[in-house]
Amino acid sequence: MGNKELIQLSVRNFMQSIGPHYPVNLQQIAQQVNTHIYYRSDMPHNVNGATIPLQDGSYIIAIKSRQPILNERFAIAQEIAHIVLGHCTGGIIITSSSELHDQGIFQYDWESYAFAVEMLVPLEELKHTLAAHEILDIDKLCTLYGVSGEIIKTRLNEIGAIRFNPSLPHTLSLVSCGT
């Protein structure tokens, strides 16, 4: 089993206690992992979030405020991933907005990204959703899962439903589920 499959298995095991409700209630998940979320306007421009472990075993997630709500949701999911995956044992974790585009991405960052994507848009759930409809547009999937068009297009590309084209506006993209 590869690293990606292990991350997906970790997410499925973690999410079993929460149940399949979409969009995922990140506040509820934060409470379950003994975490408080705070929004900060003073974070550097290239930082989306940070996770701070406290001595009592709880955590603080700091999220950059004044960013689009879907970006906030993804940043929270990624910080929760750091907690669940045990990345915070060495101290504070900072998640940069540009880290996933850099060649030197750290293992923790890749793992938290993969965990967050699977938590918000589980591949098996997405396949089930697509199988239940003849045609769905990406906007409806964004609303259903509470994520950006880029995340939906990435997931659809992973299951072979579309070929990912980052320049394609998601409002015009239709997915044919019958093929």
* Domains of the chain by start residue, with CATH: 3-120 (1.10.10.2910), 123-176 (no CATH)
Q: The whole model's pTM is what?
A: 0.84
- Rounded alpha-carbon distances, angstroms, from residue 12 to 9, 15, 103: 5, 5, 28
Residues in the chain predicted with pLDDT less than 70, given as ranges, are: 1-2, 97-106, 134-135, 163-179
Bond prior to 23 in cis (omega within 30° of 0): yes
pLDDT of residue 152: 94
Cα–Cα distance for residue pair 122/152, rounded to 1 Å: 11
Identify the DSSP state of 41. Answer: S
The region, left, alpha or beta by phi > 0 then psi within -120 to 50, assigned to residue 91 is left
pLDDT of 45: 85
CA torsion angle 147 75 30 153 (round to 10): 30
Per-residue pLDDT, 85? 92
3-state secondary structure of 48: strand
